[in-house]
Structure 1
Amino acid sequence: MISRLKQWFSDTFQEPSPSLLRMRLGPDGNSSNPLMLQFFTWESRHDTLSWWQHLEAEIPALAQLGFTQIWLPPPNKAAEMDGRGYDAYDLWDLGEFDQKGAVKTRWGTREELLQACEVAKQHGIDILVDAVLNHKLGADRTENVTAIPSNPQDRLKDAGPEGEIEAWTGFDFSGRGDKYSKLRWTQEHFTGVDWDEKTRTQGIFRLTGKGHKGWSRRVDSELGNYDYLLGIDIDHRHPAVQNDLFQWGKWILETTGATGFRLDAIKHIDQKFLLRFLKATRANSGNSNMFAVSEYWSGNLKLLLPYVRAFRGETAFFDVPLHMNFNQASKQRSRYDLRNILKDTLISIKPNDAVTFVDNHDTVEGQSLESWVGSEFKIQAYALILLRHQGYPCVFYGDLYPNRECYNENISKNLTLLIEARRMFAYGKTQDYFTDRNCIGFVREGDSTHPGCAVVISNKDDSADFVHSIRMHVGLTYGGKKFKSFMQQHGRVEIGADGWGTFSCFANHVQVWVPLGESEVV
């Protein structure tokens, strides 16, 4: 009794340890800055290789660049042959069984996946699995169930009377059989569906009848209750569901050698279940520092912070508010006050719980969460997440690799330079010089084994002859020495004996200044 009271007091009143300080961000013994890469876009395809083969081929170069973690797309069998895995049919099928029209997934076969994961491990890169735990799609058969239609704008209100519908809720997994898992999903394992086959009607139907408990209350309150998102909504309170997903968490890590998860759409998942899933998977896999980052999609920091607190360091969170600031800065261009770029963001309040990003597969133009950061501010945004000490940055494949959706060759070239600058120079504490609405700067002081750098960022409209200047202190260690430009090669800065220097940047550009080595020609 006393031990339970102590645990309750600790959980209720003591500040939890920040997630990023307790989780693995890369292989042990790596002294360089950790860095994550999202290795896919929504339309990802390779001309000659499967996606997993493409990943395997790129791993040596990614390791050399300095990436320590790769976030993979959902590796599970999708409802459609071309599905990305977010239309999750069978989590236990990684491209091994003849289901949904093919053995392989969109991304390749199980063997190709495991081979890529092994090569990543050999090169010192950790693998992260995208876990789609909120819903299922592609049922094998229908069942007759009782249900009540919900108001789509307020799921706590009914939109009609209870009645019988024909729902796609039967999952038999005939291609897999009992291998890995014996659970056959039926209507009892779900809370709602979006289609009545009997009347060919689309809607949001809350399943009722024996055993059903309605929508979970431990979800986001958007639209009254945001338990239901899409497809066939999983009831995470059901014991058989919990047991199956807990076992899957351990199995997927052991099978792939992955060291953690990206958790999809958590505002729709029962919080109590998700906390248990994280704790159980860490315990069952023997990986106490398992990495986890969650997608809670909201640009409103006030809505995000309660979730961060509720999960008490068990997962980090993507800094969507920061992404939204980047999006606005790219739209407003020189009208945007750069001194506010970090305002009302997770990184500004809880930096050790923030995974920072510029864009992802959902933010590309035409996608469901379209909020693309335009080329006018893309590199400035990347400089802010890659070169500062707060937060943990994630680079998007679409910005780095040639692709049909969003590639910009100049962006890719400069992004590669920023990644190199992060690996070589971005160490030590950050000193900010946010003094002008269209030009800000900051200094990384370096550490015992890495030099620091000075960074200048401008969002002033292009002007060929306009150059910003900011006076910044880089430390007495550099007194009397010189810094060189790392991005556009256009000059040197002499550091005074007092450690101060005046650093410049062309309008609407980024410049990174780094110490000039004694062996280099001035």
Structure 2
Amino acid sequence: MKLSLTRNRWIVRFLGFLFAFLLLVVLITAPGALAADYNGTGKEVILQGFHWTSYKPENNGNKHWYQIVKENAQNINRAGFDYVWFPPPSRSAASDNSYLPTEWYTLENGYGTENELKEAVTALKPTLALADIVINHRCGTATGGADFTNPAFGNSEQNRSAVVTGDDCNCGTGKPEERHHNGSISESNDAGRDLDHTNPLVQAKVKEFLDKLKTEIGFAGWRYDQVRGYNGYYVGLYNDASKPVLSVGEFWDDNSQAVVDWVDETRGKSMAFDFPTRAALVDATLNQNYSRLKTISGKSPGVIGMWPEMSVTFIENHDTEAVRNGGQKRFPDDKVMQGYVYILTHPGIPTVFWRHFFDGGDSQKAQIVKLIEIRKNAGITSKSSVFIEPNTDGKYAAIVDGKVAIKIGSASWSPGDGWKVALDGPDYAVWTKS
């Protein structure tokens, strides 16, 4: 009898240990399980700290852009922004926006010097800085080919092996472009050499680059450029090495499932810009098609309706603004505040565009500041719940977390008794609990 009881105790202990182990495996491997460290707290608001022509001193009173950011640091802090997204920091193949980087380690370009960059990042504190990381492609130092320096990936042969086979330069000896998990081929960049992220030499230098930006400049997180160009697994790999407080990728696609698939590729270790939500907002406000803001199941469209804590929302950025694309993809000027009423009261982490905040006039700036205040006072986060009014005729109306109500569109609507108007304007209103 004693032997039987002892054996039973060991069986129970073993089964308990096995259950705990299996539970741990499930938690670790579940999508987003390791994501918390790299995706902020969900309470943040981001400012995109530049626009398409920021690199031109003639537009900035003959000052470098980093000086402009530094001079506005207190205004940015007072407005309630938690992060400022900086432009790419490295030397570029052209005197432009630095999206064709050459020498990663030379932190000087049209936006300013390395010292000016450090000063801007320091001046913003406690607001944190996010660096724009362009590692899908890179140009050679002298030729635009594979003659990489500062850092090199090794000797000339190793430099060529860092470029995918099939690149436009015909100089790459690395592996061909990878496919994403949904089967689509990675996106190439004709102007730069597409890097082979399966190559350990590339991985090592990317990790060193991120470490340099973090330890020497003070960057706290990353915005990854053109992540359609390589598998999201590597973003997760680089985040594991660099430990950003926040990571977001530019997977430019209006299909919500495609964006969520990329987040899955990172193993939930990076958020993504919510292009599908922006597309729905443009259609809704431009064409008064407010049904675009509610799915058949009554949820929000876009990534915020599928995986809200992995969504970074926005209504405009340097790529979509008029000066970049002739106005073909821009957000309607007279609907800008409707867009901010939506993203600053809804799930996801919202991003405000520099031009909208600093160049849209004092009234618009004050209203954006008020919306940030409303969001933070109500405790709205990336995971907040949304009840959407079923009738979308001439309007979109919703109540978020039972604390904030909004309406955009010309039709009248009220959340009822117990609410007070906190903000209103042409075809929009926001209420809070009275």
TM norm. shorter chain > 0.5:
yes
2:421 corresponds to 1:485: yes
Partner of 2:373: 420
Other-structure match for 2:342: 384
The equivalent residue for 1:41 is 51
Q: Is it true that 1:324 corresponds to 2:259 in the alignment? A: no
- Report the CA distance between 1:419 and its aligned residue: 2.6
**Distance between the aligned counterparts of 1:268 and 1:378, measured in 2?**
31
| Matching of residue 314 in structure 1 with residue 250 in structure 2 | no
- In structure 2, what is the Cα distance between the partners aligned to 1:53 and 1:340? 42
Residue 130 of structure 1 corresponds to 132
Q: CA deviation at 1:281?
A: 1.9
Q: Does 1:337 align with 2:291?
A: yes
The alignment status of 1:355 with 2:306, answered yes or no, reads: no
1:296 partnered with 2:312: no
| 1:510 paired to 2:432 | no
Could you tell which deviates more after superposition, 355-364 or 418-427? 418-427
Tell whether 2:208 aligns with 1:231.
no
* TM superposition shift of 1:432: 2.4
Offset at residue 471 of structure 1 (A)? 3.6
TM-score by length of 1: 0.69
**For the residues of structure 2 that align with 1:217 and 1:206, how far apart are their CA atoms?**
20
2:164 corresponds in structure 1 to 191
> In the alignment, what sits opposite 2:397?
441
- In structure 1, what is the Cα distance between the partners aligned to 2:170 and 2:300? 40
Larger radius of gyration: 1
Corresponding letter in the other structure for 1:469: W
Q: Which amino acid aligns with 2:214?
A: L
Alignment match of 1:77 (pick from 91, 96, 102):
91
Pairwise CA distance, 1:226:
2.8
Question: Hey, what does 1:497 align to over in structure 2?
Answer: none
Give the match for residue 468 of structure 1.
412
When you count strand as a share of all residues, which structure comes out higher?
A: 1
Task: Render the CA deviation track for 1:98-141: whole Å, top value 9, x for unaligned.
Answer: xxxxxxx11111111111111222xx111111100011125314
Contact kept? 1:330, 1:376, Cα under 8 Å: no
CA distance in 1, matches of 2:253, 2:292: 21
**Unaligned stretches of 5+ in structure 1?**
27-31, 96-104, 143-167, 174-179, 195-203, 283-288, 447-451, 461-466, 475-482, 489-505, 517-522
Check if 1:117 corresponds to 2:75: no
* Other structure's SS at 1:140 match: coil
1:358-399 deviations in Å (ceiling 9; x for gaps): 1111111253695211034321221111113x2111111121
Tell me the residue number matched to 1:213. 175
Cα 1:220–1:366 change in 2 (3 A) is farther
Report what 2:5 is aligned to. Answer: none
Distance 1:127 1:471, change over 3 A: closer
Is the CA contact (8 Å cut-off) linking 1:308 and 1:317 kept in structure 2? yes
- Aligned residue pair count: 402
In 2 relative to 1, CA 371–34 (structure 1 residues): closer, same or farther, beyond 3 Å? Answer: same
> Residue 65 of structure 2 aligns with which residue?
51
CA distance 1:431–1:169, shift in 2 (3 Å): closer
Distance 1:38 1:445, change over 3 A: same
RMSD after superposition: 3.3
TM-score, normalisation: structure 2: 0.81
Query: Partner of 2:321 in structure 1?
Result: 364
Q: What CA distance in whole angstroms lies between the structure 2 residues aligned with 1:33 and 1:52? A: 26
Which of 23, 32, 35 aligns to 1:16? It is 32
* 1:246 counterpart residue number: 207
Paired letter, 1:114: K
| Shift in Å, 1:68 | 0.7
In the TM superposition, residue 485 of structure 1 has moved relative to its aligned partner by 2.9
| Larger fraction in helix | 2
1:191 offset after TM fit, Å? 1.7
Question: Offset at 1:216?
Answer: 2.8
Q: Which of structures 1 and 2 has the larger relative contact order (alpha carbons within 8 angstroms, sep 6+)?
A: 2
Between 1:377-386 and 1:350-359, the stretch displaced more is 377-386
Are the aligned partners of 2:233 and 2:266 in contact in 1 as well (CA < 8 Å)?
no
Deviation per residue, 1:399-418 (Å, 9 max, x gap): 1112xxxx566644533332
Q: For residue 89 of structure 2, what is the amino acid of its counterpart? A: P
Contact 2:397 2:405 in 1 (8 A): yes
Offset, 1:49: 2.6
- Deviation at residue 311 of structure 1 after TM alignment: 1.5
1:464 — aligned with what? none
Letter in 1 for 2:112: G
Deviation at 1:472, TM superposition (A): 3.7
Contact 2:251/2:259 (8 A) holds in 1 = yes
